[in-house]
Structure 1
Amino acid sequence: MSTNTTADNIIDGKAFAAKLKEKVGRQVAILKEQHGLIPGLAVVLVGADPASEVYVRNKNSSTKAAGMNSYEHRLDACVSEAELLTLVEQLNHDPAVHGILVQLPLPKHINEAAVIDAISPDKDVDGFHVINSGLLATGGKGMVPCTPLGCIMMLKDRLGNLSGLDAVVVGRSNIVGKPMAQLLLNESCTVTIAHSRTKNLPDVVRRADIVVAAVGVPELVKGDWIKKGATVIDVGINRITTDEGKTRLVGDVEFAAAAKNAAAITPVPGGVGPMTIGVLLQNTVTAACRQAGVTEPEV
């Protein structure tokens, strides 16, 4: 981490995620004691992608650590789309399963959209189902994608009321960019969605009080694009090769230079990444409470 940064302007995603997981654990204990309800998360992994294996293992251990039930389903890479859809349908009807997550990416012969659409919107803890996307867009009460929800949690924790702030989201994916913009709108921000084809992108970013970079281009957002005192959330995780031939992780923001201007900034790694599993657990608790018709415990 650059010597130009201080502890005060770094948003520590690991520490925030640890607190969130502790909160979820307390919620789960209350649900067990008061309602006999144990939230359950089913994770489906198709094939043996190394990165996906790590994610699934972490999700499994975090779920159990929070006192929740974890159901792991591992399928061969050659499994048919019909077989996968049959499993999803079984999980939809399993009362012990409150959240379903099918690990992406899927093998090329399987239609990801068809699988996402097959998951019950009530159990769609990834928040990717078109019904949940529509509910978010219209201010309804659906499941919200984990990464954008984690970003908005960190922003509100750092800034408090976001109302009236100028926010620029760089990236327009269905997984991060679009839902992030909707969440910021819901907080009464003035929101611009920018992307790789935006004209005068540096000028668009320079006016922002909040910059969320989620475009998947290493260090696209330069340090001098960041307004003095802005808050920067860097969702990007890119592996690059250094001049010495080694590899390292960088975000979508030129971190060291941006940190000189930003009042607060997330590092890569250690910023947004750790939040995703914590929010997944929170979403599973939310889904369990809604399905059981009980109020989510406030702790």
Structure 2
Amino acid sequence: MGDTTVTTLEGREQAVPHPVADPADGVERGRLRRLRAPRRPRLWFEILLIAVSYWTYSLIRNAVPEQKAEALRNADRIWELEQRFGIAVEQAVNHAVNSVTWLVVGMNYYYATLHFVVTLGVLVWLYRSHPGRYAATRLVLFTTTGIALVGYYLYPLAPPRLMSGQDFVDTVMVHQTWGSMASGDLKNMSNQYAAMPSMHIGWSVWCGLTIFALTTVPWVRVLGLVYPAGTLVVIVATANHFWLDAVGGVLCLAFGYGVALLWYGSPPHALPRLVPDGGGSPLPVHRPRPARD
């Protein structure tokens, strides 16, 4: 029977209909489940997405008004804050590294190249070896970068090498190396006052955590942890960032992981490594059966 009966105070039996689920609700839940299910990435789409996303990121980042006066004031505030708490180590590291020519030149090229090479390398590795985890891990990276753009707009910040009245060395200018889009002849192509948060740190920690979580080779896992630590030394030694910019990068990355966790219901590394060509296997949508007489 599709209905049940109850006895009222007057002794009469009255049919009470069972609630019937709305089929549209089941369809919507099924569609959302399919969207959230891990699926095999498509190469052409990923190449196009990465190219368009990086172009958009560069366009927006460089379109942010270069608020020089405000950026320099913010740099002075951060430097004073670090000195007050005894954590202002950037100048000492900058001078120490600058005294060793081969080391500082190597760091300049490290700053200019590995930021892109390693990040793209990890994306390619994920695509080939962990397709089921690729989309979620990529979402972390893209969300991290997106929230960084908000930081560039709301909090313009000059790097230490551009501060007035401080003895920081612009290592790219001094050693005439190609090491920063914000130095030398390339400075007009990039917003020089977008130092907070540091995406060199955001991206490198993303790379390191991804490698550490997904590889089983011990020495590769160690390299995964060494890479962001080395990047922190490089951004400070070349006077491109305060170390507090690195804290901002890590906070943006934490936000990115939070978004991925909410969307997929699981950390990226806990998702299945492999998925069918058609995508994940979402649960079927159960439709209510019609009542029988």
TM-score bucket (shorter structure) = under 0.3
Larger Rg: 2
Structure 1 length normalisation: TM-score? 0.26
Higher strand proportion: 1
Higher helix proportion: 2
